[in-house]
Amino acid sequence: ADGNPRARIMIVGEAPGPEEDRSGLPFVGPSGKLLDAMLSWVGLDRTSVYISNVLFWRPPGNRTPTASEAALCLPFVERHIALVAPDYLLLVGGSSAKTLLALSDGVLRLRGRWFSYQSADLPRPIPTLVTLHPAYLLRQPAQKRLAWRDLLAFRQAIETGADPTVGG
Ligand code: URA
């Protein structure tokens, strides 16, 4: 993990890439640079967020983690989230959204939507927003406008302390 373990916001990505494997820190390679830029769009940085991944090892060839690899790490990720107990979760990319929310839709269907993340260790559910992964945005820069929209919605929720998963 990286960032501030006392932050109100926790971000969960997919898995380490080569730079992350070498340094032992999440999001320090090219997609990490873009993640930092995305956070800065809405006034956030690594002092105000805590960052981890759903998988702790780089899958061979940097491929997408399989469902069974993700399932293996899930109890540790759930415990990690429960220990940090953030007020908001931001799930970047399909792997983290599908794993933590137990959903099968593609990320383009899930992004921009609020969900309630719950696990046995948590006293109450955590409002959770899904957005696009920066590695995807590096390949599809035109989609940054969707991520921008998601982050503005995220910013609005954290500024007002709202739980967008409750009520109308
Ligand atoms: N991509 C991720 O999802 N996590 C990292 O830590 C680096 C790249």
From the list 88, 91, 95, 136, the residue with the least C-alpha distance to 111 is 91
CA of 17 to the centre of ligand 1 (A): 6
CA of 160 to the centre of ligand 1 (A): 29
CA distance 83 to 35: 23
Contact assessment for residue 64 and residue 14, using Cβ atoms and an 8 Å cutoff:
yes
Q: Which atom of ligand 1 is nearest to the CA of 134?
A: 1
Which tokens go with 137? Answer: 């945005």
Mutate to test the pocket of ligand 1, among 23, 27, 33 (most ligand atoms within 8 A of CB): 27
Per-residue pLDDT reduced to its tens digit, 9-30: 999 999 999 999 999 999 999 9
135 touches ligand 1 (CB under 6 Å): yes
Q: Which atom of ligand 1 is nearest to the CA of 95?
A: 3
Neighbours of 64 (CB within 10 A): 14
14 touches ligand 1 (CB under 6 Å): yes
| Residue with CA at minimum distance from ligand 1 atom 6 | 26
Average pLDDT, integer, range 85-110: 97
From the list 65, 64, 89, the residue with the least C-alpha distance to 8 is 89
Find how far residue 168's CA is from the centre of its chain.
25
Average pLDDT, the chain: 96
User: Is 80 exceeded by the pLDDT of residue 167?
Assistant: no
Indicate the pLDDT class of residue 62, thresholds 50, 70 and 90.
Answer: confident
